Amino acid sequence: MPISVGEEGHVGSSACRNSDLETSCSAVSRSDMAAECGSGNCDAWAARDPFGILSPYKFDRKTVRSDDVSLRITHCGVCYADVAWTRKLVPGHEIAGVVAKVGADVRNFKVGDHVGVGTYVNSCRDCEKLSRELLLKTHLHFQWYCFKIPDGYPLEKAAPLLCAGITVYTPMMRHNMNQPGKSLGVIGLGGLGHMAVKFGKAFGLKVTVISTSESKREEAVRLLGADNFVISSDENQIESLKSSLHFIIDTASGDHPFDPYLSLLKVGVMALHSFPSEIKVHPANLNLGGRSLSGSVTGATKDIQEMINLCAANKIYPDIEMLKMDYIHEALQRLVDRDVRFRFVIDIENSF
């Protein structure tokens, strides 16, 4: 399955809203979904209706240009963003695979290299914001949105790094959350949260997981090595944490209060990764406490490669559940139901 880095369409994961799944999948038979549509040199699953229901689809990729890298996709992670945003497109933004062809001007990749592609594959490469934050004042071609996966690092484990991994790694580095001995709170223990715990432990932090679900206690402490686990709805447990944390990574999806969590900080920063409908904060929680609330998504190209190399060197691996492409609608429903430990990854190579 080829993909040319530099195009907007990615081949891989999928999505549909919870309500859409319930009302629409009943009307779409398995044989309907299995019926291929279109023709071309690339196999995919696409959402071609208003509900985001996916089914097999073929299309033609463009010819590889001088600054393109073409890869054979082997794996693709499934992100919660796929649930919200897939409409009339071929989704997927946690991609891992093997280089199949390179353009004449490509110098950093060769055929056979293991590589990953993440949340963006093009940009203006010119504005001040991109020069400062994304492109690091380097003139980037499409080849620069492709990242080397070191030898020996499993491709299926590498895929979630391209979104879940870099999403939490970026603010941790930006706000110096890599200081051994300091304390980190992680709100939410899903795809992003479990990576924040893994990075925190690798950095030598004392990690506290804050969750709505008691059922995640054993996984947080025994499997991931968290030092502490508290239930967010338990006022006594939250009270015991007040002014005890140096940093907080907030990965909780949906609307949730901010003041109770900000009060857990000493003088530090809380980094937000979700998209609640609104943020309400009492000014005293920021001003009098000297606390900060920050937002972050994805990361710079330099940071992505740095994060991948760190994971390889320290044997940091996402915890994944592998699936075939034809299980995608069940997987999406389980994602909505928070029934995944901790990232779904599609076995693209064996699904077509």
CATH number where 30 lies: 3.90.180.10
State whether 103 and 58 are in the same domain: yes
State whether 68 and 88 are in the same domain: yes
pLDDT at 4: 35
In a domain? residue 309 = no
State whether 190 and 142 are in the same domain: no
In a domain? residue 242 = yes
pLDDT at 125: 64
State whether 154 and 169 are in the same domain: no
Q: What is the domain extent for residue 119?
A: 2-163+317-347
State whether 108 and 201 are in the same domain: no
**What does pTM read for this prediction?**
0.84
State whether 158 and 196 are in the same domain: no
pLDDT at 140: 30
State whether 6 and 112 are in the same domain: yes
pLDDT at 11: 27
pLDDT at 307: 98
Q: Which residue, 132, 92, 97, is CA-closest to 7?
A: 92
Q: Structural domain tally of the chain?
A: 2
State whether 22 and 168 are in the same domain: no
Strands of 154-255, DSSP E:
183-187, 206-211, 228-231, 245-250
Q: Hey, what are 81's tokens?
A: 């963003």
3-state secondary structure of 297: coil
pLDDT at 36: 55
State whether 290 and 333 are in the same domain: no
Task: Indicate the pairing of strand 69-78 with strand 2-4.
Answer: antiparallel
Residues of the chain with pLDDT under 70: 1-36, 86-87, 124-142
In a domain? residue 81 = yes
3-state secondary structure of 54: strand
Residues 6+ apart with CB under 8 A from 264: 185, 238, 241, 242, 243, 244, 245, 248
Tokens 């190399």 -> residue: 309
In a domain? residue 301 = no
CATH number where 239 lies: 3.40.50.720
State whether 59 and 151 are in the same domain: yes
pLDDT at 7: 30
In a domain? residue 303 = no
State whether 180 and 65 are in the same domain: no
Alpha-carbon dihedral of residues 33, 74, 2, 80, nearest 10 degrees? 60
pLDDT at 128: 65
State whether 198 and 251 are in the same domain: yes
CA pair distance 35, 135, nearest whole angstrom: 42
